[in-house]
Amino acid sequence: MKIKDMLNFYNRTNVKYSADGNTDLEIDGYSSIYQYKDGTVSWLRKASTLDDPKFKMPDIFTCVITKDGMPRIPNVKCQIWVDNPKDAFFDILEEFWGEKNEAVISPQAIVESGAVIGENVSIGPFTYISSQTVIGDGTRIGSNVTIKGKVTIGKECVIQSGAVIGEDGFAFIKEDSAQKFVKHYGGVTLEDYVSIGAQTCVCRGAIEDTLIKEYAKIDNLCHIAHNVVIGKRTIVVCLTAVMGSVHIGDDCWIATSMIRDQCYVGDGCVVGMGAVVVKDVPDNTTVAGNPAMPFERREKI
């Protein structure tokens, strides 16, 4: 492909850009700015990167996508300016080099009779889908996934390999000298455009459903316990443990952390890496530490 093919793609997708240089040059692939390969397209977040001691300036750049207003790079054959270079770069990768995932249900998947599967759904090998599952259009489910019990999954969701959705939560009551398990009767609801990472577990609710709202993204290796509610567009980073009946609001960022059962985390909150949340967090609050407390940025001494 040529650089002008990339620009034609921007024209079709209404990406505003300006370009300077030879747009007839061939592009053979992509590379990072720190390990740039001749003949590829790369992107640059800020001009100061070029002065970074860890950065070794190549003899020539074929094509670099940069932010509007950034100066011309002296040794670039073609420079493209856009409002958001990262998005513009990865859109190019997706368009020209991305995997084209066809909607295929693997013959090695187990889909029980009664399951409702929408259109253009992909299900990988060795995945189990229970009879009570409902899956919306365009959802992609990886391999070795277990979806058990009453699980409703919206449209255009992504469930990565090894995830477990709908198993019982951890609930026991002491009875004489033994621990009696409390059976769960709820399910799991994932609204539209939710992403569940590899090896993540989402437990079913005890009575009401565990609920993950639209556009929420759960990273790999997370534990989402029974009766949890996670709000719209909230991000939960890998190795986070969210205990039973926690309510997390909309537009939160939950770094690798632990949130005690029954806690409420309001809208627009940030939970810092390594935090242990043991009490409610008000809206638009950043907490960090163990136990987690409101965090204020301080100047370095």
pLDDT bucket at 301, cuts 50 / 70 / 90: very low
pLDDT of residue 102: 77
pLDDT at 176: 74
What's the distance, CA 120 to chain centroid? 21
Q: Is 97 exposed, middle or buried (0-12, 13-18, 19+ CB in 10 A)?
A: exposed
The answer, yes or no, to whether residue 183 has pLDDT greater than 90, is no
Point out the least confidently predicted range of 28-32, 92-96, 231-235, 297-301: 297-301
Which is higher by pLDDT, 78 or 185? 78
Which range has the worst mean pLDDT, 69-73, 256-260, 295-299?
295-299
Mean pLDDT over each residue of the chain, to the nearest integer: 93
Query: Residue range 277-281: average pLDDT?
Result: 97
Of 184, 223, 226, 247, the active-site residue reads 226
pLDDT at position 177? 74
pLDDT-derived band of residue 175, with 50, 70 and 90 as boundaries?
confident
Q: Would you say residue 298 has pLDDT above 50?
A: no
Give the least confident one: 49-53, 118-122, 146-150, 220-224: 49-53
How confident is the model over 32-48, as a mean pLDDT? 92
Confidence band, pLDDT 50/70/90 cuts, at residue 299: very low
**Cα angle at 202 between 132 and 262, to 5 degrees?**
120
- H or E segment and range at residue 44: strand 40-44
All residues at 6 or more sequence positions from 176 whose CB lies less than 8 Å from its CB, including other chains: none
Are residues 233 and 215 in contact, defined by beta-carbon separation less than 8 angstroms?
yes
Q: What is the mean pLDDT of residues 67-86?
A: 94
Is residue 226 among the annotated active site residues? yes
Please give the Cα distance from 93 to 113 (Å, whole number): 39
* C-alpha to C-alpha distance for 124 and 171, rounded to whole angstroms: 31
φ/ψ (deg, to 5) at 85? -65, -35
pLDDT of res. 297:
53
Which region, left, alpha or beta, applies to residue 123 given φ > 0 means left and ψ of -120 to 50 means alpha?
A: beta
Whether 300 has a pLDDT exceeding 60, the answer reads no
pLDDT at 100 over 80: no
Mean pLDDT along residues 234-254: 97
Across the range 234-253, mean pLDDT stands at 97
Quickly list DSSP for 217-273.
EE-TT-EE-TT-EE-TT-EE-TT-EE-TT-EE-TT-EE-S-EE-TT-EE-TT-EE-T
* 248 and 231 Cβ atoms separated by less than 8 Å: yes
pLDDT at 260: 97
pLDDT score at 170: 83
Q: How far apart are CA 20 and CA 186, in angstroms?
A: 59
DSSP characters over 176-209: TTEEEE------EEE-TT-EE-TT-EEEPPSSSP
